[in-house]
Amino acid sequence: MSNEIRICQFIEIDPSKGMVKRYQNYFIQETKIFKGENYSFAPFEAEGGVSSLNAENQQVIIRLPASEYAIRLVEEGDGNRLSKMLLCTRFITVGGSIPDTGPEEYYVGIGASFSDDTIELRFRSALDGVAGGFPARTLTERNVGILPLDSNLSLR
């Protein structure tokens, strides 16, 4: 038995119009149950993870073959503007089960692009980056109460 670790990704896309779509990209021609929901096979790839020092949102691209279901995702998502996506990555061993825990990231759609053979859905992270000056307040007795001598603070 091999000790190889494989990567399986699950995407749940909630377009601005239409129903939630769920796909996985590892088990070819199979539907897998993940988190209590059915995920159909779709040959997609997730690419991204761009971040900067200016606290801009992380971006990711979901690349799909130009097929009927991918075109439907773009149409129901109004050009993939404001669609919501959950991307779950799981590391599995050959012949092993799908772990319950692993990286999970939430994204918001910002657009799509087409070529003759692929469709790219572009997303940005759902959480804004934090600028260097945040928070700009100093902890004082007035805004947190009596300051303790240990690390227990009560923010009100």
The list of the chain residues with pLDDT below 50 reads: none
Q: Which residues pair with 60 in a beta bridge?
A: 48, 123
Which pLDDT score, from 0 to 100, does residue 145 have?
67
- CA dist., res. 43 & res. 64, Å (int): 6
The domain spans of the chain are 5-144
Which pLDDT score, from 0 to 100, does residue 82 have?
81
**Correct CATH for 5-144 of 2.30.110, 3.40.50, 3.20.20, 2.60.120:** 2.30.110
Which pLDDT score, from 0 to 100, does residue 100 have?
86
| Integer CA distances (angstroms), 84 to 30, 100, 122, 153, in order | 24, 22, 11, 35
Which pLDDT score, from 0 to 100, does residue 40 have?
95
Count CB neighbours of 43 within 10 A. 12
Q: For residue 50, which of 114, 133, 129 has the smallest C-alpha distance?
A: 129
